[in-house]
Homo-oligomer: A and B are copies of this chain.
Amino acid sequence: MRRFIKKRSKKAGLPPGTLVHIGEQKAEEVSITVIDYDEARFQEEEIETVEECFPFKDKPTVTWINVDGIHQVEVLELLGDCFGLHPLVLEDILNTDQRPKMEDFSEYIFVVLKTLSYNDQSDELEPEQISLILGPSLVMSFQERAGDVFDPIRERIRNGKGRIRRMAADYLAYALLDSVVDDYFLVLEQVGEKVEFLEEELVTNPTPETLQTIHNLKREMLFLRKSVWPLREVIGALERGESSLIKESTGIYLRDVYDHTIQVIDTIETFRDMISGMLDIYLSSVSNRMNEVMKVLTIIATIFIPLTFIAGIYGMNFQYMPELVWRWGYFVVWLVMLVIGVLMLVYFRRRKWL
C-alpha cells in the first residue's frame, strides 16, 4: 500500500523547486562514480566530494556520472548548480514518487524511470526510481541505491566490447534505458513462473490462499502496468527524435527499445487476462465443490427423511395399530423402505445427480 502514496505532506506549502527528499532512504551513503571515455581513452573514478566531478564538465569525451543514493540534498544542489539543471529537475530527482516521464530542456534531456524488483524477504515488488540527464557529452544517472542494473554496461565500457566506446553520450543513455527495459523482462519471467505455479495449484489443490495469491498477482500486474505504460510514452518521445541531443543513428536503437517496451506491455496485458481467467476458474471450481457437497446432502437427506418418517410411524404407541401385530409386518416395512430407497436412487441417476 504505502508504495502508492508517499508522504508528500512534508512538502506541502513549500515553494516549487524546494529540494526535499521524498521516500525512504535506501542507500547507506551517497556514492558517486565517474566514468569518462572515448574510443581510445577510459577513466573510472569513485569520487569523494562532488566538486571532483566539475572538471569533467567541459571535456569532449563522454562522461557518465552515476549517483547512488539521493537522500543528501546538498550533493544534488551542488551538481545542479555546476551542470545548470533547473530546480524543478532536482526536485523531481529527489521526489521518488514520480511517474516515468521525459522532459526536453533543449540543453539537456531529463528522464525519470522506474525499475521493479522482487524483495527477497517480503516477496513483494519494490520500485526504484532512476533519473537520467543526457547532455551533449554527458550522462548523469541517479539511483536510490547501488544496484546492479547498470553493471553490464560498465563492464562493456571497460572492455570496449560492442560499439559503445565508439558512440556518443546519446548511445550511452540508450544503453542505460535498454538495461532498464531488459530488467522488466527478468521481472516478467519471475511473474511467469508464479503464474505457472498457480495454474498447477489451481487444478490440483485450490485453497482460499490460492485466491489471495491470485489477488496479489493481480495487484502486482497493476503495479507493473503503472510503471511501464508511461515508460512507453517516454521512449516513444525520445525515439521520435525531436531533440538534437539524440543522433539519428541512435534512433534505430531507440526504436528497438520501444519495441521491447511494447512487448513488455503486451506480456503484462496477457498476464492480466490470464490472471483474471484464473480467478474465474477458481470461483467456479469453488462453486462446483459446493454443488458436490449440496448434492450429497440432498441425496442422503432425501433418501433417509422419508424412511425415518416410516420408522417413526411404527414407533407410535397407539393401542390399536393393526400392522404391529402382523407376523411379517417388520419385514414388510423393511421391504417398503428398500423399495423407496432404490426408487429414489434410480430417480437421482435419471436426473444425473449421481
Contacts and interface: CB of A to CB of B under 8 A. Distances in A.
B279 A351 contact: no
Contacts of A2: 196
A314 B334 CA distance: 11
Interface in A187-223: 188-189, 192, 195-196, 199, 205, 208, 211-212, 215, 218-219, 222
A152 interface: yes
Contact of A300 (B211, B255, B302, B330): B302
A122 interface: no
B301 A297 contact: yes
Interface string A217-257: 01100100010000000000000000000000000110110
A62 B185 CA distance: 40
A97 to B, nearest CB: 8
A320 B316 contact: no
Interface stretch (A72-80, A127-135, A136-144, A159-167): A159-167
B308 A305 contact: yes
Which interface class (under 10, 10 to 19, 20 to 34, 35 or more) fits A?
35 or more
Contacts of A304: 305-306, 308-309
Interface stretch (A14-22, A28-36, A45-53, A63-71): A14-22
B311 A8 contact: no
Given A298-B293, A351-B292, A15 B156 contact: yes
Contact of A280 (B15, B98, B215, B274): B215
Contact of A208 (B185, B288, B329): B288
Contacts of A107: none
Nearest to A88: B256
A312 B308 contact: yes
A180 to B, nearest CB: 12
A40 interface: no
A306 to B, nearest CB: 6
Contact of A273 (B222, B271, B294, B324): B222
A4 B1 CA distance: 29
A234 to B, nearest CB: 12
Interface in A97-124: 97-99, 101, 103
24 contacts: A1-B196, A2-B196, A4-B267, A4-B271, A5-B185, A13-B179, A13-B182, A16-B256, A103-B255, A218-B277, A226-B266, A290-B290, A294-B297, A296-B302, A297-B298, A305-B308, A307-B309, A307-B312, A308-B309, A314-B317, A318-B326, A318-B333, A320-B329, A320-B330
Interface of A: 1-2, 4-5, 7-9, 11-18, 86, 88, 97-99, 101, 103, 151-152, 155-156, 161-164, 175, 178-179, 182, 185-186, 188-189, 192, 195-196, 199, 205, 208, 211-212, 215, 218-219, 222, 226, 252-253, 255-256, 259, 262-263, 266-267, 270-271, 273-274, 277, 279-281, 283-298, 300-302, 304-309, 311-321, 323-330, 333, 351-353
Given A219-B274, A226-B270, A286-B287, 9 more contacts: A5-B189, A13-B151, A15-B162, A86-B252, A97-B263, A205-B352, A208-B288, A301-B301, A320-B327
